[in-house]
Amino acid sequence: MGQAGRGILTVVSGFAGSGKGTVMNKLIAEHDNYALSVSATSRSPRPGEKEGESYFFMTREQFEDLIKEDELLEYAEYVGNYYGTPREFVFKMLDEGKDVILEIELQGAMQIKRKYPDTVLIFLTPPDIEVLYERLKNRGTENDEVIAKRMKRASEEVLSIKDYDYVIINDNIEDCTRRVHEAIMTAHHTVGHERGLIEQLESGLAKWRT
Ligand code: 5GP
């Protein structure tokens, strides 16, 4: 049911260190209805990150060309770097019935919510702040200054969780992945997403109304 229709657009945000990436990889490995959007960014690759898989890495100038050419669905500056969602892939996948996931930060999430109010907005959080700090430190790829910047950013982001539809705790990967999947599956049946079905029912019943 609902599979033949247009896919659901979902935004997943979370503090740096919320484990978003791991949850997204698991979600995609376990279900074939998802397509994960690959963002463009002006930040440098971290060890192990792959071009076209983790991100499309580019210079600030190249990124600004994408903005000028209106090729991004949304974009934002985060801790000194540009990040943005290439538009074409998202619409193509939604039209093919895929549920598209954008793993993006808050400012981009709010742009998407304004433009596409039927989007499902999910915020992932570790169970508490100590876990958040430890996860960032243990990642080992960032220096103290970057960690401090990201914690500061988290202290601002926390104020906007109420603008999301769901806040899901990542205390355990399996449970968290299941909850994210359930939230997206439920969205297939909202009145906002099922407009086509409603119109079909309305016209089918019109002759009985007189
Ligand atoms: P990181 O540098 O750790 O990979 O990502 C930093 C932040 O940028 C994360 O919160 C991530 O979700 C966000 N981000 C990644 N891609 C995009 C994007 O296309 N647009 C926006 N607005 N944020 C993004």
Over the stretch 96-112, which tens digit does the pLDDT of each residue have?
999 999 999 999 999 99
With respect to residue 28, please indicate whether it lies within any of the assigned structural domains.
yes
The answer to whether position 55 is within a domain reads: no
Kindly report which listed range (29-38, 67-76, 131-140) carries the lowest average pLDDT score: 131-140
Residue ranges around ligand 1 (CB below 6 Å): 16, 39, 43, 74-76, 78, 83-85, 103-105, 107-108
Q: Identify the pLDDT of residue 100.
A: 98
CATH number at 139 reads: 3.40.50.300
Domain assignment present for residue 192? The answer is yes
The number of the ligand 1 atom at minimal distance from the alpha carbon of 109 is 22
Which atom of ligand 1 is closest in space to residue 72's alpha carbon? 19
Q: Does residue 113 form part of some domain?
A: yes
Q: Evaluate whether residue 49 is within a structural domain.
A: no
Q: Measuring from atom 23 of ligand 1, which residue has the nearest CA?
A: 104
> Average pLDDT, whole number, for the chain?
93
Q: Are 116 and 6 in contact (CB under 8 A)?
A: no
Whether 141 has a pLDDT exceeding 80, the answer reads no
Residue 5 has pLDDT above 80, yes or no: no
Specify if 60 maps to a domain: no
172 occurs within a structural domain: yes
pLDDT of residue 142: 73
Residue with the smallest CA separation from ligand 1 atom 12 is 104
Q: Examine residue 104 and state whether it is found in any structural domain, yes or no.
A: yes
| Overall number of domains in the chain | 1
Name the residue range of residue 166's domain.
9-37+98-209
The pLDDT, as a whole number, for residue 4 is 52
Residues 6 or more apart from 173 whose CB is under 8 A from it? 19, 22, 23, 26
Across 3-26, average pLDDT: 88
Atom 7, ligand 1: which residue's CA is nearest?
Answer: 105
Atom of ligand 1 nearest to the CA of 84: 19
